[in-house]
Chain A
Amino acid sequence: VPQAAPEFAELFHQHAAFVWRALRRLGVRERDAEDLLQEVFMVVHRKLPEFAGRASVTTWIYGICLRKALDYRRLARITREVSAEQADHVGEGRAQAPGQERALELKRARSRLDAILDQLDDDKRAVFVLFELEGLTMNEIAGVMGTPVQTAYARLYAARRHIKQSLGEEAGGEP
């Protein structure tokens, strides 16, 4: 049964924070994520009247988000630059609250995660991020990416293998 078209304001308030996060994990630089967030919701607004409810709103928005992120990465060709930028930010330690140590830990961990994700190709990265971090089902991901679900599975498993291998190599490389 098609869902009723949701209100744009509700969509923004419910999803914007998570779209931003997905954009970041999909390889959009922090300084560009805000612009892309707006672009995503400009598209959402434009296409909302056409939203037929065949997919969930979440899936639909993530689909737009994914396409924007992929376009961004293709155009900007920034894969390596992203890693460098993130590495630069690791030591910033701008948090001034008592919990700054924890905040810094998280920031380091995110930079490390993004650096590992940067090693994946865009398709594997997208599947991994949408499944492991955004919590979409594999069927939803297949719908978002326009691939058979088995292809999505294959990409997920390949991404997982790569990530475990990367972590193993990091650990092995430590003195």
Chain B
Amino acid sequence: VTQPPKRWLDSNDESPELRELLEAGETELAPPEVLRRSAGRLSAALGVSLALQKSAALATTQAVSPAPGASAAASASGGAASTGAGAAASAGGVAASATGVGSALGGLLAKVVSAVVVTGTAAHFVVQSSKPAPAATPRAQPAIQAGSSSSAREPARRAPAEAAEHGSDGAWAAPEQGGLSREPGSAAAEAGARDTSAGARAPAHVQRADRARASGRQSAPSASPDPRLLQLQLLERAQAELPRDPQAALALLEEYARQFGGETWLAQECAALSVQALVRSGQLAAARQSFDAFAARYPGSPMLGLLERELAARLPPVPIDRKVPHP
């Protein structure tokens, strides 16, 4: 019978150098903006909602370390609550209805990010309303962060902190309502400070987020609203205008380009909306041109197919005798 090997990181026999390398590898998680963009594009491409409906995990965050800023964010008032370290965002708030191309793409912007809760290493955009931001409220680091790497390895007790760190909006760590049934410990993340019974363990990646804390990822407090909020809000307005007044949507997109330029984190979404607005406002030649530019710039975009179908549905059919065969 083969004795199961022990992970190097679970062993005290390995050199500090080796442990450092492995811990560095293990503590790297996807940048929140990558996750947000991916959620948006998947929503658009698949016509499914990737938004989680409640902020249960946010409550988890508060259970671990109550914070006035976080409370403000959790309330319907929204706003920006910058609570400590971190500068990134991790909103998965992308909802796409499945009622058509426009609404699917529109799902990218279906919710306005209005609150930023910064915990540990990441700022979590909490999908709420778009009301004015309350003052930023600094917050002490969760006490759990003081744990050492080795002690922090003990399982599920630390899972709520993981939820707080990696997705207080329910984005990346904590299941919302029962979550998956794959491992008993995964429920720990949703249960906040609930004690865990013997044998229960969080998923491996949840258990080991303590290393992310132990590795001391720190970043500067962020007291001012992220300009990306403004970009998102403007694009959301354009999306809202699209079905009823494509010209107004175009005007807002132009305003967006004027204010923020063409290389923002939402550039792809902006370009896609622009194609749609041109199509719907009957500017088919310009729409075709924009679509070609979009396809050239984002050849792998999941939105390509959607835009292509929308464009094809509006373009007049080419008479058969005028078709030019491909060389």
Which range holds the interface residue count of chain A? 35 or more
Query: Is A57 touching B28 in the complex (CB atoms < 8 A)?
Result: no
Query: Is A16 touching B205 in the complex (CB atoms < 8 A)?
Result: no
- Does A12 have its Cβ within 8 Å of any Cβ on chain B? yes
Q: Which residues of A lie under 8 Å from residue B181 when comparing CB positions? A: 3-4, 6
- Does A147 have its Cβ within 8 Å of any Cβ on chain B? no
Q: Which residue of B lies closest to A99 (CB)?
A: B218
The residue in A9, A25, A58, A116 that gathers the most chain B C-beta atoms within 10 A of its C-beta is A9
Q: Which residues of A lie under 8 Å from residue B4 when comparing CB positions? A: 137-138
Q: Which residues of B lie under 8 Å from residue A20 when comparing CB positions? A: 29-30, 34-35
Q: How far is B14's CA from A167's CA once the two chains are assembled, in angstroms?
A: 12
One of A16, A106, A114, A134 near B27 (C-beta < 8 A): A106
- Does B78 have its Cβ within 8 Å of any Cβ on chain A? no
Interface residues in A22-71 (C-beta closer than 8 Å to B): 24-25, 33-35, 37-38, 41-42, 45, 56-58
One of B15, B23, B180, B205 near A57 (C-beta < 8 A): B180
Q: Is the interface of B mostly helix, strand, loop or mixed?
A: loop
B37–chain A nearest beta-carbon distance, Å: 7
One of A18, A21, A24, A113 near B22 (C-beta < 8 A): A113
Q: How far is B126's CA from A4's CA once the two chains are assembled, in angstroms?
A: 29
A89–chain B nearest beta-carbon distance, Å: 12
One of A12, A17, A18, A113 near B21 (C-beta < 8 A): A113
Interface 9-residue window, one of B5-13, B64-72, B280-288: B5-13
Contact with A along B11-52 (1 / 0, CB 8 A): 000010110111111111110001101110110011011111
Q: How far is B24's CA from A45's CA once the two chains are assembled, in angstroms?
A: 30
Q: How far is B18's CA from A116's CA once the two chains are assembled, in angstroms?
A: 11
Query: Is B35 touching A16 in the complex (CB atoms < 8 A)?
Result: yes
- Does A97 have its Cβ within 8 Å of any Cβ on chain B? yes
- Does A73 have its Cβ within 8 Å of any Cβ on chain B? no
Interface 9-residue window, one of B164-172, B231-239, B245-253, B289-297: B164-172
One of A13, A16, A42, A171 near B52 (C-beta < 8 A): A13
Closest 4 CB pairs of A and B: A135-B204, A99-B218, A97-B219, A20-B30
Cross-chain pairs A/B with CB under 8 angstroms, 10 sampled: A6-B181, A14-B203, A19-B30, A34-B37, A37-B34, A37-B38, A41-B38, A113-B24, A114-B25, A132-B8
